Amino acid sequence: MNTENDALKTSWTLVARLKNLDDGDRWQEFYQLYRGLIVGVARRAGLRESEAEDALQATMASISKNIANFEADPARGPFHAWLLKLARWRITARFGLHRI
């Protein structure tokens, strides 16, 4: 069975390329790959569609600010776990939701 998380095994090469904030093609690829996941988390947290889109944008901004400090190490866990943590922090901070 292929779960949503199984489908999102991020290439460590893609993660490394995201550190170049000017690589628009890689950021677009990344956005397309993770947009649905982040919006889905926000919607399951009870946000309306427009709020979920706001959470997506806040999460992407947070990722761009923090990607330079992210260490791609499979032993520390999958990239999408870090990404989801950022998304949940953004949702909590912006919308005051504590059970996501």
Q: What is the pLDDT of residue 5?
A: 46
Average pLDDT over residues 72-77: 76
- More confidently predicted of 91 and 7: 91
SS (H, E, C) the chain: CCCCCHHHCCCHHHHHHHCCCCCHHHHHHHHHHHHHHHHHHHHHCCCCHHHHHHHHHHHHHHHHHHHHHCCCCHHHCCHHHHHHHHHHHHHHHHHCCCCC
Q: What is the number of other CB atoms lying within 10 angstroms of the CB of residue 61?
A: 12
10-66 pLDDT per residue, tens? 677 888 889 999 999 999 999 999 999 999 999 999 999 999 999 999 999 999 998
**Confidence band, pLDDT 50/70/90 cuts, at residue 99:** low
User: Torsions phi, psi of 99, nearest 5?
Assistant: -120, 75
Domains and CATH numbers, the chain: 12-95 (1.10.1740.10)
Q: What is the pLDDT of residue 100?
A: 52
Residue 60 structure tokens? 């992407």
* pTM as predicted: 0.79
